Structure 1
């Protein structure tokens, strides 16, 4: 039986256990994508190539599988050059089938040397030009994506894809069958003793969990270590919600820290960073823990992170095993826990600044508080990037149901990430939190959401401007004209795409709106009209003169 090579290549992806693929078709990938769909893989056909890769990124993070996307060659490939570095920096395993221009053509309009574009993003590019090795190359791409935790882009010339084969190829063993499965690495006993001695000498400890702690299942061990040492708990931004519900959890450590958390972090004398990438954001460029030593517990501890020496002491080992071993070695310490401090944490609000009320627009912090109180706890939440993301990051939600990917700092990814989560969790309702400028970048994907029947509620903070830029320009005394585009009627646009749309100026209407949405299901956009004068703490610290708010300092007297 003969079959085309593109069918064999589709068989290779099926053999790797691929269940979903995000696609935008063109000449160099459409035959392969059609063959993949014919083999039962769920295809989500998006309206922009960027969105295919970005959606695959969120799918991979939420599902724990390799994300798969496909775009055509040339201009199809160049459209993904913002989505790829975001996935690289977040450590997301992806395989992207990109196609290439035909090798046998004397001239082809979309011909491009694709590899330099991809390698510039930090991703890997593999040219599949030798037919006998192609199935093994695909298997190896999945291996590399998993082992290196980064995207791999495959370039397969379209004329080679159409080659007829006399018989189906014999596929190599798939990635899952050959990847090593080493047991978690315990810490070295001598290193463990030195670290335990350092912890015994500390009085005000913060135990900070990152994605490494989440992946290794170390959350409960971190809670136990914090209880044993009288420590407070915190997380990196990507792991926010890991210690959800703990009375001594301060939430996010980093630029997004709450007012109370920052005040307490300033008095810490030791931070135990468990499975964390000690980035400039996480340590707020060295300003967050001015008195504290940093202990890093990781399978691959680093001396320098993002240009800074971030840790004073290192313990190499699996996060869960290392923290459990420390718990066994340490006697109870008093630390800085107290009932009064627990009460203060429970009552604290993320941002204590006061801004003057404005008629007919909402304070974004009130919007977030109302949504947090109203939205069901079992729905999946997705936080986008941009000025508004600070406010949503402090919602009272567990790690497993709240997705944050913002390592590249790019707006415009939110709607794609929501689609990826919806594909990974098809039985769940997904709520996207985004800004108007971000959503408008890829508003066309509302049609994708409707066509594929994705259950996504999009809550947009609409200030009629690019939020970060308008506040920075005000601080510098410059014209804001280039950052202001007016309050687009996003609800009307949503209805034009065939989904629900509501423009909201009164939060009292939310219970009725939610009841209606739960009854009908599907997708909708809630367009919240917010003030453009409420500035997040992140912007206020860097640009202190561009706002009219009044800071309320935290009083720690009697708390520590």
Structure 2
């Protein structure tokens, strides 16, 4: 598209066309005077979807949930000044999580010196670790947009596209649509010298174990990794964020790290070689490096930032996981390396025979035990679901007891260690997927970052069920007081009835104090579609050892 100077295009129309040319058709946001007319024009075009939220942080978080669920670029928009400062925590979360996002931020017009909402927006963004691209002029917005998208995808982090408010009604005389500067990187073949080193270590291993991370969850990579495991006779494990990747495989030992079960820990202890594929080997996966002690460790990843970032290993190879595995399989066949038999029928029987974990039921007359509740939710909620978890003291138990069908169904929200970031992610994930979304949060996290935008789930009629594990306290702080024999009153709160608030907002609400009411709530949720909330009452004194 190109217009003559005699018939200039107005900026909102041109910007929408630029977004479309870059494949952007879904935006999460909150409008104000610096982005209002841009989004108005965007929403009026067929095929576009604008999902409004009630807090700017939720716009960024929803874009993140959408990106994690789809693998596409997540896009958000906010206005200037305090709207942008409201996104800081969400931006840091996604910088830490290495999530490519585009945040289209309106900015105060340069000539509007005394505007009360004016702040130096670049200076706000840079400390978060996000990138920043300035729209230089109405005519350059297409190029600036394409550059911002390219940076977000290549740098794997949020990038803010800063757009002055006074551009919104500017004419664009030379409205030439930008070229797409980003294409998916094709599979990267590994270096031959690096592969020789890796193949030699693997061939000499007697008890190899394969550890797959988020970088190995694509179907083609998954298939190759399973083939390698069966060729080597190696057990399969995953990181937390690749959880349930090998669901159903007879030699799947589950999560490698602080969440490992007893059989998995025994297998890890006996392994002499760990082949880490698409896994960064962080402190929780390796238990501060302890689970790798005395083992040869090989690390392969297409992202150079992940190689030896947390652990010094014996061999690394930069390359696409499938390409690395295929090269390794060829090398093993060429030298006729035998199967190790480390993953054998005995291991299969041990895994099958693992008894269900028996835990004490600490339910009271007015509260339900957290583990008892989670076991019931695991079996009573639709299996094919998207799972979003907030931060909180309950997390280890939810990780252990609530599963997903595939790692892409799990949305991780605690890269920054903040509570209150899950509802925004759930909005985006639910928009992206036809699956039901199960959000598990604490009461403090819901009040901090979920209550306002639960209304957004109602307004857009999103199929999100929020389960609040409600101990009327900030649990991490409560337990610290108790461990020092101190009064935990500062950590405790009397909240309003979450079930009644949900109903007032137009959603379904249930208060759960025992198994009967929990089963009734799950049955009611299963019988309908749309937003729902289940408030599970817990006793904070009965979960003081949950993180032990």
Q: TM-score, normalised by structure 1?
A: 0.89
CA distance in structure 1 between the partners assigned to 2:97 and 2:290 by the alignment: 23
Q: How does 1:85-164 map to 2 (within 5 A)?
A: 85-164=92-171
Does the CA-based 8 Å contact 2:208-2:274 persist in structure 1? yes
Are 1:279 and 1:305, in contact at CA under 8 Å, matched by a contact in 2? no
Structure 1 position 144, deviation (Å): 1.2
2:411 to 403, 406, 412: 403
What are the ranges of 5 or more consecutive residues in structure 2 without an aligned counterpart?
1-6
Q: State the aligned residue count.
A: 534
2:286 is equivalent to residue 283 of structure 1: yes
| Shift in Å, 1:416 | 0.8
Query: What is the alpha-carbon distance in structure 2 between the residues aligned to residue 503 and residue 242 of structure 1?
Result: 34
Aligned partner of 1:454 in structure 2 is 462
Q: 1:554 — aligned with what?
A: none
Q: Is the 8 A contact 2:377 2:522 kept in 1?
A: no
Distance 1:81 1:333, change over 3 A: same
SS of the residue corresponding to residue 295 of structure 1 reads: strand
Moved more, 100-109 or 286-295: 286-295
Which residue does the alignment assign to 1:544? Answer: none
Partner SS state of residue 64, structure 2: helix
Out of 517, 525, 547, the position equivalent to 1:539 is 547
Tell me, yes or no, if the aligned pair for 2:27 and 2:51 is still in contact at 8 Å.
yes
| Residues 338-353 of structure 1 aligned to structure 2 (within 5 Å) | 338-348=344-354
Which residue matches 2:255? Answer: 252
**Mapped partners of 1:131, 1:89: distance in 2:** 32
Which residues of 2 match residues 126-275 of structure 1 at below 5 A? 126-165=133-172, 167=173, 169-175=175-181, 179-180=182-183, 183-215=186-218, 217-275=220-278
Q: CA RMSD in A?
A: 2.5
Partner Cα separation in structure 2 for residue 213 and residue 364 of structure 1 = 32
Q: CA deviation at 1:124?
A: 0.6
1:281 is paired with a residue whose SS is helix
For residues 151-172 of structure 1, give each alpha carbon's deviation from its aligned partner in whole angstroms, at most 9, with x where no partner exists.
Answer: 110111111322234x571212
Offset of residue 91 of structure 1? 1.8
Q: How does 1:290-369 map to 2 (within 5 A)?
A: 290-301=293-304, 308-330=310-332, 331-348=337-354, 358-369=364-375
Aligned partner of residue 203 in structure 1, secondary structure: coil
CA shift, 1:66, in A, is 0.9
Q: How far apart are 1:509 and its partner, in Å?
A: 4.4
1:445 equivalent to 2:420? Answer no
Q: 1:422 aligns with which of 426, 430, 447?
A: 430
* Aligned equivalent of 2:398: 392
Deviations 1:220-276 (A, max 9, x none): 222222223232211122211211122222222233333443344333322111011
Cα 1:181/1:453, change in 2 over 3 Å: closer
- 8 Å contact from structure 2 (residues 381, 526) kept in 1: no
Question: What secondary structure, in the 3-state scheme, does the structure 1 residue paired with 2:366 have?
Answer: coil
- For residues 184-210 of structure 1, the C-alpha deviation after alignment (integer angstroms, 9 at most, x for no partner) is 222333432332221233333221111
Q: Residue in 1 aligned with 2:421?
A: 413
Which of the residues 516, 524, 533 maps onto 1:516?
Answer: 524
Q: Residue 56 of structure 1: which of 47, 56, 63 is its match?
A: 63
Give the Cα–Cα distance (whole angstroms) in 2 for the partners of residues 537 and 288 of structure 1. 24
Q: Distance in 2 between matches of 1:315 and 1:537?
A: 41
**Contact (CA 8 Å) 2:29, 2:78: kept in 1 or not?**
yes
Q: Does residue 36 in structure 1 map to residue 36 in structure 2?
A: no
Gaps of 5+ in 1: 541-560
Contact 2:362 2:368 in 1 (8 A): no
- Quote the offset at 1:357 in angstroms: 5.2
Offset of residue 115 of structure 1? 0.8
Hey, what's the Cα distance between the residues in 2 that align with 1:247 and 1:337?
9
**Runs of 4 or more consecutive aligned structure 1 residues displaced over 6 Å after TM superposition:** 349-353
CA displacement, residues 456-488 of structure 1 (integer Å, 9 cap, x when unaligned): 111121111122222233234443222221465
2:82 is the counterpart of 1:75: yes
State the distance in 2 between where 1:18 and 1:535 align: 45
CA distance in 2, matches of 1:486, 1:539: 24
Q: Which residue of 1 aligns with 2:535?
A: 527
Of stretches 82-91 and 401-410 in structure 1, the one that deviates more from structure 2 is: 401-410
Q: CA separation of 1:143/1:418 partners in 2, compared to 1, >3 Å: closer, same or farther?
A: same
In 1, Cα distance between equivalents of 2:157 and 2:304: 19
| TM-score normalised by structure 2 residue count | 0.90
Q: 1:332 to 1:409 in 2, by over 3 A?
A: farther
Aligned with residue 25 of structure 1, among 21, 31, 42: 31
The separation in 2 between residues aligned to 1:73 and 1:311, in whole angstroms, is: 46
* Offset of residue 359 of structure 1: 4.1
Greater displacement, 469-478 / 147-156 = 469-478
CA contact (8 A) 2:80 2:105 kept: yes
Query: After alignment, is 363-372 or 3-12 more displaced?
Result: 3-12
Residues 458, 106 of structure 1: CA spacing in aligned structure 2 closer, same or farther, 3 A cutoff?
A: closer
Q: Which stretch shows the higher mean deviation, 477-486 or 310-319?
A: 477-486
Q: 1:365 to 1:349 in 2, by over 3 A?
A: farther
Equivalent position SS for 2:299: strand
The Cα shift of 1:364 comes to: 1.7
